[in-house]
Structures are given as structure tokens and as C-alpha cells.
A and B are shown apart, each in its own frame.
Chain A
Amino acid sequence: MRTQVTSAAGMDTRAASRPGTPSASAVVVAGLRKSYGPVQAVRGVSFTVQRGEIFALLGPNGAGKTTILEILEGFRTRDAGRVDVLGADPGDRSEGRALRERIGLVLQDIAVEPYLTVRETIARNAGYYPASRDVGEVIRLVGLAGQERQKVRNLSGGQKRRLDLALGLIGNPDLLFLDEPTTGFDPNARRDAWEVVRNLRGAGTTIVLTTHYMDEAQALADRVAVISDGQIVATGTPATIGGRDHAQAQIRFVLPEGSTAADLPADATSVDGLVTMQTAEPTQTLHQLTGWALQRGTVLGQLTVDRPSLEDIYLRLTDHGAPESRPQRSTR
């Protein structure tokens, strides 16, 4: 499996060996490995990001997401494997400047000069790019309109993150890396940030983001790769990942008064009066169930039908029987 991917990526790299050569893939990673001393942080990771899509690396803290991202961004060297970002090798310093003119980065920690104003900070970075976006337009885009003349040190944490996003966008990048872009945001700010990211995709920007929030991957990503222990354990769209679309539907309801699980027309488990049924044919099973209930003149209280959530799939994929390695769940 891995050799197949590697050879395919090899062809891709040759075809797009010059920076700026159009290619269908924005990012190609094949057989990527990285160790810190005895710790293997990334253990043979391969994936491809298509141009114009939002690709999410989803995984618990310490799974290797940021290491992979930092290798793609050119901040870290790799031990083995092939990496191709917009047709260039980010580990090759001689191509660094040309590559950096076409990628935007939003890193995890906030780091901005405290004494410059919002506008000055963005205008400074705009000068680093040959074809930057308009400073005022970017300020509006990230929702900092009205704060242009504020000193950076007087901004709130959320406003600083917006400024960080503005610095990632100002160079009008073809490819944008977002490392946990909404960590620490309140729910409204997250919705706003998602809207900005979706609009960027709409304008043709390819986006690679890391997150440990299920709902973020669900809401934003065209495709998701779930990472656990330095390896990709599943890739797919948020709707299909981990066989989610083929998983059996679950029907839940409160067992009617005076009935037992054995009376039901199909197999079911009952815990404290709450019945759970697994079925591959929910239409048929529901018909049987509701017919049974109407015939007996009773109701199915709190009736729900659902499929496993992305969170259920994620927890199953990243669980190694070590509860302490579980991710922080998003607070709602």
C-alpha cells in the first residue's frame, strides 16, 4: 500500500518539479517520518491535498499533527519520506522564498510586536510579498474593522488571533496552513472564523488545517485524515470516514409502560428502560416498530434515529485502550 502511494507521489513530484507549475495536488506527502530522539512522532504518513479543498488533520494532542504541519511549512526537517508543497520541497532552503510568497501560515501561539498598531502590523507584512492583498480589505475580512489604530498590546486574545489570521492572508496565498485556528475562541468567534475560511476556499485558496474539534472538521473540511500516534488511521470525507456512511443506524426510545424488550418486533437491548436497536434498514425497522406501538395503543417516548457521530468514529479510531491518551473533548 505504502509503496504504491510513494511511487505515485514520485511521479507527481517530477511533473511539478518547478515551483509554480500547475498540478492537481497542492500538497503531496508520502512515507513521512520524524523522530525526536527515541520518540517517533510521525511514523510513515502519506496523504494528498487537492487544490481548492479544505483538508483537516484531526487527532488528539500529541498525535503528530503540528509536527507534520511544521515539516510542510519548512520549519522542521524530516527524517524520511517525500514532501511536495505547491511543486516545491519545503526542506529546500533555496526555494524557500519563492514558496513562502505563495503560502500563508497561522501558527498556534500568538506572536506580534506589541507596540505597532493593527494596520501597521499588517502593512509591514504586506511589504514582504510581491502581490499582497489590500490591507484594508484584509482588516475587514477578519473582522478587525474599527480597530486599525489600536496598539496590538491593547487587543483581546481573540482579536490577536484575528490579526494572526490577517497576517496569514495578507500575501494572498494559494495555500493556507492553519494550526488549530479556533482554539480558545468563543462559539460566535468560531462561527465567524469558519465563515472566513469557507469564503477563502470559495475564492480558490487551498487550506490545510489541524484541529482536535470534531465539529470544526465536520463543519469545514472537504476531507479529513484522522491521526493517532503518528499514523493516519483513516481518511475520507466527514460523512464517510471510518465507514460512517455504512454504519448501522441506531433507533432509541423509552420502553413503553407494561412492555418488555422481548415483546418488541425486532432484536433490541434495553438499559434502564431505554431501548437501543441497531439496524441496517431503518425504514423497515421503524415501520415494524411504529406499527407495533399503534396496534398496542402506546407511544415510543423520546424516539430518535441516528448514525454514529464523527465524534463516535473519532473516539473509536484514536482509542488504544489508554484512556489518558484521549483527546480533550470540546466543551459545549
Chain B
Amino acid sequence: MSITTARHAPRRDVALLWHQIRYEQLSFWRNPQSAFFTFVFPVVLITIFGALFHSGGGSSYFYGLSALQYYVPTIAALSVLGSCYSQLAIVLSMRRQNGILKRVRATPLPAWAYFLGLLAHCIMISAVDVALITGIGSLFGMPLPTHWPAIALALVLGAASFCALGVAVASLIRNAEAAPAVVQLVLFPLLFISGTYMPIHSAVLNRISGALPVRPFNQALLGPFAQHTGFDWRNLAVLLAWGAAGAAIAIGRFRWNPRPQ
């Protein structure tokens, strides 16, 4: 009866983590809303941009890139924001309000396994998103990027940082109804000043947005995607710093219980 307790072999922990990732994936793909908002919005956006700009060459407005070369990486970044930051903040607020998080707490599943499971799930979804957008871009004549390791690193680091920020926002929001509004209120202006929808040619604005999380992520993807440069360490460092700040808030403030003590 008690022989099996208090003995947690590392192999069992790995199996537990894999088990958790599988069920996060299953819950995600079964939910039509989450699948819709995570994939359809960025896919529609890149298809529109592709149809509009597929014949354009390089221009100084896009820093010497073609419009599509600019938009594939920024919309890819946008899709990662959606599947990590927005999705996680909203889903966790909902799960807390519904009492699902409290139920998770009632099982022996350790908190690290729950959050690592979510993180791995979000990275997988982000990878699918980025692959979709790159694929659609290539349909419109955009050449495939060559520096995959730099893209992979930016993707994983960006996804992890925006997951941490998503959990941080979920920790600060009190009720789930407010979650989508708060998430969008923070994200929308940030996307605009970070050049996601159009290039920004203001040095002052770029300096400000360069210290916020979205523009460094855009830049870290733009380089290896379109300009054939490699690892963008400076921007990756800014991203990592935001991720660490988000993680600190999440660890300090996260609640499992729907009602405060």
C-alpha cells in the first residue's frame, strides 16, 4: 500500500511530463475556439499580405526587403504571441475561475510538471504556426530561410518568454471575463509600435519598443528569416530578460484557487 509512495524515479517524472503534454495537446485540438484563434488569424493575415504584395521587390520602406520577406517573420512572431502569451493568459484565467486548476492541485501532479507541460505544448503549437506561415509565404514566392538553428533558438526562447509573460498576466488578473480584454489591451499597441503590421521609421519609437518584448522578438526572427544573418544575441537577451521578469511574477503571484484565501 505505502511501498510505492515517496519514490519518484526520474524516469517516472519524464513519463509523467510526456503524459501531461499529450493531454494538453488533446484538450487544445478538441477546443474549436483555441484552434481557431491560434491558427486562423495569422494564416488569414499572411494570406492577405501574400496576395497583396507577392510581386513586390525590395524597397527602402521595408529596409531593403520585399514586403513578404518582412511580413513572414513578423506574422510568424505574431502567431507565437497568440499561441503563447494570449492563449495561456486566457486559458489559465478560465481554468482557475472554473476550479480546474484547484483540481489539478488536488492531484499528485507537481506544479513544475504542469507548467513544463504547458510550455512544451505551447512551443509545439508555435512551431506548427511558424511552419504554416513559412509554408504559405513560400507559396507566394518567398524563399525558404537558411539559418534554421537561429530561427529555432529565437522560436524556443520567444515562446518560453511569452509563456512566462502569459502566466504572469494570468496571475495578476482577478477574473476570467476580464482576461481577453486585458490581454488585447496590452498587446495591440505593442504590436503596432513594434512594427508587426508596418515598419516603424522613428528612431525614438524603435528605441522604446526595442526595450519592450515584441520588437526584439520580431528582430530576432527577421534576421535569420530574411537577411540571412544568424543569432541576434542582443535582442535574444532582451527577450530572455522579459521572460525572467514574467517568470518571477508568475512564481510569486500565481494562484490555483478560484477565490483568494
Binding site for B on A (CB under 8 A): 19-20, 22, 73, 75-77, 97-98, 100-102, 105, 107, 109-113, 115-116, 120, 124-125, 127-131, 151, 167, 171, 174
Looking at the assembled complex, report how far the CB atom of A129 sits from the nearest CB atom of chain B, in whole angstroms.
6
B189 within 8 A of A: no
Residues of A within 8 A of B202 (CB): none
Residues of B within 8 A of A76 (CB): 261
A130 with B5, Cβ < 8 A, contacts A120-B26, A171-B108 known: yes
B64 within 8 A of A: no
| Contacting pair A19 B23 (CB below 8 A) | no
Looking at the assembled complex, report how far the CB atom of B125 sits from the nearest CB atom of chain A, in whole angstroms.
16
Interface residues on B, range: 20 to 34
**Cα separation A174 to B5 with both chains bound (whole Å):** 12
The digit string for B85-123, where 1 denotes a CB below 8 A from any CB of A, is 000000000000011101101111110000000000000
The digit string for B233-261, where 1 denotes a CB below 8 A from any CB of A, is 00000000000000000000000010001
**Cα separation A76 to B4 with both chains bound (whole Å):** 27
Looking at the assembled complex, report how far the CB atom of A125 sits from the nearest CB atom of chain B, in whole angstroms.
6
- Which of B2, B6, B12, B30 sits near A115, CB closer than 8 Å? B30
Looking at the assembled complex, report how far the CB atom of B260 sits from the nearest CB atom of chain A, in whole angstroms.
10
Tell me how many residue pairs across A and B have CB atoms closer than 8 Å: 77
The 9 closest A-B pairs by CB, nearest first: A111-B99, A20-B2, A115-B30, A100-B108, A127-B19, A98-B6, A105-B106, A130-B4, A124-B23
> Is the contact region of chain A dominated by helix, strand, or loop, or is it mixed?
loop
| Contacting pair A116 B103 (CB below 8 A) | no
| Contacting pair A131 B4 (CB below 8 A) | yes
A-B contact pairs, 10 of them (CB 8 A): A19-B6, A20-B6, A75-B105, A98-B6, A107-B99, A113-B100, A127-B20, A128-B16, A128-B19, A171-B107
| Contacting pair A120 B108 (CB below 8 A) | no
| Contacting pair A111 B100 (CB below 8 A) | yes
Residues of A within 8 A of B5 (CB): 19-20, 98, 101-102, 130
Residues of A within 8 A of B6 (CB): 19-20, 98
| Contacting pair A101 B31 (CB below 8 A) | no
Looking at the assembled complex, report how far the CB atom of B121 sits from the nearest CB atom of chain A, in whole angstroms.
14
Closest to B33 in A: A115
**Cα separation A19 to B1 with both chains bound (whole Å):** 12
Closest to A87 in B: B2
Residues of A within 8 A of B105 (CB): 75
Residues of A within 8 A of B109 (CB): 128
B:1-44 near A, CB below 8 Å:
1-2, 4-8, 12, 16, 19-20, 23, 26-27, 30-31
